[in-house]
Structure 1
Amino acid sequence: MNDYIQTMRALIGHETLLTIGCGAIIENIEGHLLLQKRIDNAMWGIPGGIMEMGETFEETVKREVLEETNLVLHDISLFGLYSGKSGFATYPNEDKVFSVQIIFQCKNYTGSIQLNNESKELCFFARHELPANLNPTQAPFILDWQQGVTLPILK
C-alpha cells in the first residue's frame, strides 16, 4: 500500500476513498491478452495499480506492470477512461474505494514474465477463451477489448 493510501486510511478508516488506477491491456504477437490471477481474490484482471503522488498516468502504468509482470512497456496508447458503478469496491478488510481507471494498450514490450507477491498466475488468453472469474471492477475494459473496441473509450 502506498503512503498516500496509508495516510488517508488513518484519517478516514474504512470509508470510501477516491483513487486513480492505471492498467494495461497487453497483447502478445498472437493478439492474446495478458491477465493476472491475483493472490488476494483469485480473480483475473489486467496488470496495473494505484497512482502514487507526483506520478503521471504513463509512469504509473509502467511501474505497476513492471512490478507485477517484469515486463517493460513501450509505445503505449490510451485504450479508455472508465468510471461509474463498476469502480466501487469493498476489500476483505472492509476498506471501500471508488477508482477511476485509465487503461492503456500495449503490443510492444520487453522482458520475461515473472510472478510477484501479488500474482498467483500470469497467462495470455485468446478473445474467445477468457476465464469466467474476471474481477468485476475490471470486466468492463476486458470485455471491451474482447469485443474489439479500438477507439479510446469514455465510460
Structure 2
Amino acid sequence: MGYIMELRKLIGSRPIIMTGACVLLFDNKGEILLQKRKDNGCWGLPGGALEPGEQLEEAAARELLEETGYIARDLKIMHIFSGEEFYYKYPHGDEVYNVIAAYVCVKYGGLSHPDGIEVEELSFFGLHELPENLNPPDVPVIEYFIEKKRQW
C-alpha cells in the first residue's frame, strides 16, 4: 500500500497537497502517449504520487513502467506545476492540490502494457488530435508543452 493510501486512512478525503510526477512520452512520429484511466474514464498522462524518500525523476520512471510497461531511458524535466488550477476531486471523493513535476521522454524501451488496475487502454495521439475527454489535471500540463514545444 502506498503512502497516500496510508495517509487517507488517517485523514479521510480532506484536501491534501500531493506531490507527484508525470511523463509526456513521445514516439518517433512526435505523438504523445496517453492512458485511458479507469477511475474517471478520461485520457491522461502516466504518472502518480511520490513515495517517501523517492526522487521525483524516480517516481516518474516508476509510474511510467507500472502503468504502461515502458521504460524511460532519458527523462528531461519540463516544468513544475502547482496552484489552484491543480486542485482535483477524484470520483471517489478524495481531494488534492497537486504539485506535479512533468518530464518529457523520447528515449524509451519496453512494450506497451496497460496495468489493468489504473489504466484501461494506451494510445498515441497527435498533439492536434487529442481526445476531448482529457483528465482535468493533465490539461494545463499538455497545453504548456504545446505552447513551449519549440524548446524541446
TM range (shorter): over 0.9
Partner Cα separation in structure 1 for residue 49 and residue 81 of structure 2:
14
Match for residue 66 of structure 2? 67
Question: Map of 1:1-150 to 2, 5 A cutoff?
Answer: 2=2, 4-116=3-115, 117-150=117-150
Q: How many residues align?
A: 151
Partner Cα separation in structure 1 for residue 129 and residue 6 of structure 2:
41
Partner Cα separation in structure 2 for residue 136 and residue 92 of structure 1:
12
Q: In structure 2, what residue type is equivalent to 1:122?
A: L
What displacement does 1:6 show? 2.7
What displacement does 1:144 show? 2.0
What displacement does 1:74 show? 1.1
Partner secondary structure for residue 142 of structure 2: helix
What displacement does 1:66 show? 0.2
CA RMSD of aligned residues (A): 1.5
Partner secondary structure for residue 138 of structure 1: helix
Asked whether the 8 Å contact 1:86–1:136 carries over to 2, the reply is: no
What displacement does 1:150 show? 4.7
Partner Cα separation in structure 1 for residue 140 and residue 22 of structure 2:
13
Identity value in percent: 38
User: Where in structure 2 are there 5+ consecutive unaligned residues?
Assistant: none
What displacement does 1:148 show? 4.3
